[in-house]
Amino acid sequence: MTPLDVGIIAVAVPALGITVWATAMFFLGRIVRAHRKLGRITYLAETQPS
């Protein structure tokens, strides 16, 4: 394995991980917002924001 291969892997693996994480957080956020809009999820605060 050449140093170039190692460099490509060293950049590609974290980039792929960040991409997967960002995509998962994006869809999770959409789901949570949709459920909050429908009233299925309520805020855990004692007093509701006005």
pLDDT, one tens digit per residue, over 7-25 is 999 999 999 999 999 999 9
List the structure tokens of 3.
């140093």
Q: What is the pLDDT of residue 36?
A: 83
- What is d(CA 31, CA 13) in angstroms, rounded to the nearest whole number? 27
List the structure tokens of 26.
């994006």
At 39, phi and psi to the nearest 5? 85, 10
Please give the angle made by the CA atoms of 26, 33 and 31, to the nearest 5 degrees: 55
Q: What is the pLDDT of residue 8?
A: 95
pTM of the model: 0.64
Strand intervals (E) in 1-50: none
- What is d(CA 14, CA 22) in angstroms, rounded to the nearest whole number? 12
Name the more confident of 5 and 50.
5
Q: What is the pLDDT of residue 14?
A: 95
